Amino acid sequence: MSGLFDLTGKRALVTGAGRGIGRAIAEGLAEAGAQVTLCARSRDEIETACAELAARGLRATPLVCDVTDIPGFRDRIEAQPAFDVFVNNAGTNRPKPLSEVTEEDYDAVFGLNTKAAIFAAKAVTAVMAAGAVRGSVINMSSQMGHVGGANRTLYCGSKWAIEGFTRALAVELGPVGIRINTICPTFIETPMTAPFLDNEEFRRQTLSKIKLGRLGQPSDLVGAAVFLASDASSLMTGASLLIDGGWTAD
């Protein structure tokens, strides 16, 4: 059974890997045997992360790149061998009422969460397909790609878009053996969510919707990522793994 989850010999790429969810997933894939490339704009963060992983005998390489630079990211991907696993994780949020949303807010949220994610998947899967690699793409979505939330019109819109994109791409690439799935977390305690969760009323309201009664940690997503990256999920594509503590159950 353990062999189903073994990623030895696999090459994995994780975007937004400098901290939080991306860093935890990159570490988990490396622990499962993969050679992991950590991609982010923050050179210091990913070089430090790679050094720490290497000190533990794990294989990790930094890739300093901004995924919103679509031609630049594509060129970096095309310049190396195909990845077997792609965790399309980079994302952002600007929660506010729609009445306060600006075009700049829209461009920032949809530009990273949707546009960059779509074209990153295009670049990675093109190289996979050219090399006849039967790979796995894991798009980082959210519980907010399945429900709505006040002050989250942009974020929900961007993640609902990723859910539809994932299903369509799964149909398109299934015949060449490339699987496309999403992970959909609830609120995870990360540097990105800290400013919101530091508000006691917001934290209370959030916890009231999570049936298991606690916020998520980045480590809560690692098992799902290893599962989707591995042969354990070899018949799974176009699907969503909701890791939401029961938020969407009612």
Average pLDDT over residues 84-91: 98
The predicted pLDDT at position 144 comes to 97
**pLDDT by residue (tens digit) across 203-232?**
999 999 999 999 999 999 999 999 999 999
Least confident residue range of 25-39, 67-81, 185-199: 185-199
CA dist 126 to 75, 77, 78, 129, Å?
Answer: 12, 10, 9, 5
- Determine the Cα–Cα distance for residues 26 and 243; give it in Å rounded to an integer: 18
**pLDDT by residue (tens digit) across 8-42?**
999 999 999 999 999 999 999 999 999 999 999 99
Sign of CA dihedral 32, 34, 39, 43: positive
The predicted pLDDT at position 39 comes to 98
Catalytic residues: 155
Average pLDDT, the chain: 97
In the chain, the percentage of residues whose pLDDT exceeds 70 is 100
Between CA 43 and CA 123, with CA 106 as vertex, the angle to 5 degrees is: 50
The predicted pLDDT at position 33 comes to 98
Q: Is the pLDDT confidence value at 2 over 90?
A: no
Q: Is the pLDDT confidence value at 119 over 90?
A: yes
Average pLDDT over residues 198-203: 92
Global pTM value: 0.96
- Domains, the chain, in order of start with CATH, read 2-190+218-236 (3.40.50.720)
Do 36 and 12 meet the contact criterion of CB atoms below 8 Å apart? yes
The predicted pLDDT at position 194 comes to 86
The predicted pLDDT at position 245 comes to 98
**pLDDT by residue (tens digit) across 133-144?**
999 999 999 999
151 dihedral zone (left: phi>0; alpha: psi -120 to 50; beta)? left
Query: Could you write out the three-class secondary structure of the chain?
Result: CHHHHCCCCCEEEEECCCCHHHHHHHHHHHHCCCEEEEEECCHHHHHHHHHHHHHCCCCEEEEECCCCCHHHHHHHHHCCCCCCEEEECCCCCCCCCHHHCCHHHHHHHHHHHHHHHHHHHHHHHHHHHHCCCCCEEEEECCHHHCCCCCCCHHHHHHHHHHHHHHHHHHHHHHHHCCEEEEEEECCECCCCCHHHHCCHHHHHHHHHHCCCCCCECHHHHHHHHHHHHCHHHCCCCCCEEEECCCHHHC
3 compared with 16, residue with greater pLDDT: 16
